[in-house]
């Protein structure tokens, strides 16, 4: 199991796709973390709720009622989405505003939607 240089790892990590060659373990872990964050119906709905806001951002208070879960639970899910790099959190006064990270979902989609179908 030869290891590659950090620089090469970075290069492969930037554009790895599921079908574009055998995934390195580290890159598989990175992708899996993001997919796992999407692997919960509540989190998908939270994302869609944020995306549906007129200004593209939402506070926890906007999200609790629509998903029908407790405030701590919603806060917990949002933390996971932040840690996965899918949303950002910005504190403004008493409120915390969440918005989608531009291009993060598209990048994930590209890892699936492979130009690598051409491989």
Partner DNA sequence: TTGATGCATCGATGATTGTCGATGCATCGA
Partner DNA sequence: TCGATGCATCGACAATCATCGATGCATCAA
Q: With CA atoms as reference, report the closest residue to 60 among 36, 86, 89.
A: 89
Alpha helices, H only, 1-119: 6-15, 25-38, 41-52, 60-67, 71-83, 104-112
**Nearer Cβ to its own copies (91/101):** 101
Is there binding between residue 39 and its own copies (CB under 8 A)? yes
Q: Which one of 12, 42, 75, 80 is in contact with its own copies (CB under 8 A)? A: 42
Which string of x and - marks every residue 49-88 that binds its own copies (by CB under 8 A)? x-xx-------------x----------------------
> Which among DNA, its own copies, none contacts residue 115 (Cβ within 5 to 8 A by kind)?
none
The sign of the CA dihedral 37, 115, 27, 107 is negative
């Amino acid at each position: 199991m030869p290891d590659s240089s950090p620089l090469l790892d970075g290069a492969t990590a930037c554009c790895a796709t599921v079908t574009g060659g055998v995934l390195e373990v580290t890159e598989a872990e990175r992708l899996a973390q993001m997919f796992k964050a999407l692997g919960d119906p509540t989190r998908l709905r939270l994302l869609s709720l944020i995306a549906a806001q007129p200004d593209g951002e939402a506070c926890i208070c906007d999200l609790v009622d629509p998903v029908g879960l407790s405030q701590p639970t919603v806060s917990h899910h949002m933390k996971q989405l932040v840690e996965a790099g899918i949303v950002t959190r910005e504190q403004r006064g008493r409120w915390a505003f969440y918005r989608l990270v531009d291009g993060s979902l598209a990048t994930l989609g590209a890892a699936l939607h492979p130009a690598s179908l051409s491989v």
